Chains A and B, each alone.
Chain A
Amino acid sequence: MFQRISLPSSLSRSLSSVLPNYRFLGGVFLLTVMLLLVALTHISIGARPIVWADIFQAIFAFDNQQFVHHIVIKQRLPRLVVAMACGAMLGLAGFSAQKMFQNPLVSSSTLGVSSGAVFFSLCAIYFFNVSENDIFIPAFIGASVAGVFTLSMTEMMNRSSISKNLHIVLAGSLVSMLFSSLSSFLMQLDPLRFANVQDWLLGDISPADFTDLSRIYPLALLAIGVLLSQGRSLDVMIMGEKQARSAGVNVTRTRNITLLCIFLLASLVVSIVGPIGFIGLVVPHISKLFVSEVGNKGAWLSMLIGGLLLSFSDLLARIVIAPKVLIVGGVSASIGSIFFLCLLYFMVRDKHMS
């Protein structure tokens, strides 16, 4: 819509070299405004309603005597920030995965990575008494094991058939099914011990705060930076492996590094808020409305959208049955899985893929 404005051709050519893409800028503007609105609503709504003026005051001129300021800074802001950060990480992981595999159904949850991370974390808690602060390590191992399992299964399936696009998702779902049944098996062995991780298993933001974020942010930033730096190689890889090789891209290395970063981001999110599914699946599709997946703009936009989506889901979780708070993992999964179903349907209908 923004691009259709007709200008004299010479002017339009010179403008397009100076001005960035309108659609992208429009998208960034729109999403930022929405993010701010969601954030303010998120903070202001709750057992104690808070007016927006108080929120700004609490953030910019914190007064130790004011009770309201303590609610904003110590209770509601951490939850919001955690939601945004995790959403951004999941969004970027999903974007990179979909770009690399060139498959609109792939994300960290549909690859089975999250449930692998959960199972290994539970094992670490059960067998080695690992404290919840160190759960990141088993989560990362689990994510990698599950991811590699899914990929090797896909490879095996692809060998015996021509149609390939759905196989990776099928393999991912099966791996995820296996690990979640293993998890529920393990939990039945000692229900009392796992009573306090019950909410975490569904994906729950409420117990997480700044200390959790401060523990993971170096690794998260590292993974995000590496993923952004791989952007160009991934762009070339869209053309296909052979072309990318002849263009001088080390395909295997790029793929391994990208996968590793995706596993890392997914397991970091699992380690602080649990397996929040489907955000990574939905985000890239929204970002494609504003900008093509070539280049790093899509990656930045995906982080923005991820933050927006997860904080919006959290807002919904808090207001739907108001005094009670739903678990955000359930809310995001219910939106995301309906989206997944529709995506699957349209994909098969339009392209006649099997």
Chain B
Amino acid sequence: MNIFDDQNMIISPSEGISLPLYKRTLWVLCALVILLSLSFVYSLKLGSVSVSWADVYAVMGFDVELNDATSTIYELRLPRIMGAIAAGALMALSGYLLQTAARNALADPGVLGLSDGAALSVIVLYVVFSQVSLTASILASFFGVFVTALLVLWFVHKNLSGTFIVLVGIAVGAVVSAFSDILLSSVTIEDMAFLMAFLSGSFLSLDLTSASFLSIWMTVIIAVFLLLSRYINPLNFGYQHAMSLGVDAKKYYIFIIILAVFAMAPVIALVGSIGFIGLIATFLAKNIIGYRGTELGIVSMLLGAIMTLWADTLGRTLFAPVMINAGVFIALIGALFFIIMTRYIVKQ
């Protein structure tokens, strides 16, 4: 398909938003939205407590009389599922933005060690003051991501080759997780179990408040992303080209890194250290719709949401009564993906 074929262009929603849609993209978007909605409904039904479709329907319509089945769905499953969708979308967007900033298909919060950094600062907070409010842990997560991001940026700013970025990210991640290990070995057994779950990323402890918070946060971040998209897209061509297209590249590089950090930090604070979603989702999205700026971001978000939702759902149903943390699933898939992607790493 010729991507410069104007016949394929369908809509451009408004002046300020750079979102020219192509037919193929539109089909993919529709398919993914339908897939996401179906997964959402189906995962409400799946689980170790069996519920009927009628109960699911009742919860969907918010027509809730709390009997056993509906309260299972409403209190246990709905927050997890909402949280997984929002977290997946945010992490995928964060990965996409970092990849745009680094102009490297391997940049991702998990790969660059940002997730580990955020998790470490939240853990420190837990260990120091055993009781931590939601706001405090989100702030701590922001702090951790920023510090780690600065560290990684400082290390890689002179050499942006793929191999080096990935190695620095892995090394920073190793430093951070060594400190996490030290902290883990110094707390009591009960704290340790909780922190282990946190470190591997689990949607188990999400309640409705934090899940709604994540969803609202996701909406805000998407809005900001769409508003900034006309400045973000030229950056995909590199600094010089972006400058020649009239974008103040330096300023917007900083903007998108900050946006990426804002997208991921609350997720880590609430869910724990999950990574690799951005890596996998953006890679898949590129293969489905090609290199297309904003649409790529949106499609990656949808893919990330679907992936995380299924990672969580499979994790709680596949080996029931044992629960596998979503983060563990994702890390496993991510590592496999990474190995398959080495070809691309080396070429960059």
Contact = CB atoms under 8 A, between A and B. Distances in A.
Contacts of A349: 158-159
A177 to B, nearest CB: 5
A170 B341 CA distance: 12
A157 to B, nearest CB: 5
Contacts of A156: 342-343
B248 to A, nearest CB: 29
A189 B322 contact: yes
A340 B179 CA distance: 15
B167 A153 contact: no
B159 A348 contact: yes
Contacts, number: 128
Given A153-B339, A157-B342, A167-B163, A188 B328 contact: yes
B95 to A, nearest CB: 16
Interface residues of B, number: 42
B245 interface: no
Contact of A321 (B171, B178, B186, B347): B186
B181 A188 contact: no
B342 A170 contact: yes
Given A188-B322, A326-B186, A340 B171 contact: yes
Contacts of B339: 153, 174-175, 178
A161 interface: yes
Interface string A169-197: 11101110110011011001111000000
Contacts of A202: 181, 184-185
Interface string B322-335: 11110011011011
A354 B324 contact: no
Contacts of A184: 200, 328, 331
A135 interface: no
A171 to B, nearest CB: 7
Nearest to B170: A173
Nearest to A162: B346
Contact of B167 (A161, A191, A344): A344
B76 interface: no
Contacts of B338: 174, 177-178
A326 B170 CA distance: 24
A198 B184 CA distance: 11
A167 B200 CA distance: 27
Given A156-B342, A161-B347, A341-B168, A327 B185 contact: yes
Nearest to B331: A181
Interface of A: 153, 156-157, 160-161, 163, 166-167, 169-171, 173-175, 177-178, 181-182, 184-185, 188-191, 198-199, 202, 277, 321, 324, 326-327, 329-331, 333-334, 336-338, 340-341, 344-345, 348-349, 352, 354
Nearest 3 CB-CB pairings of A with B: A354-B161, A333-B178, A334-B178
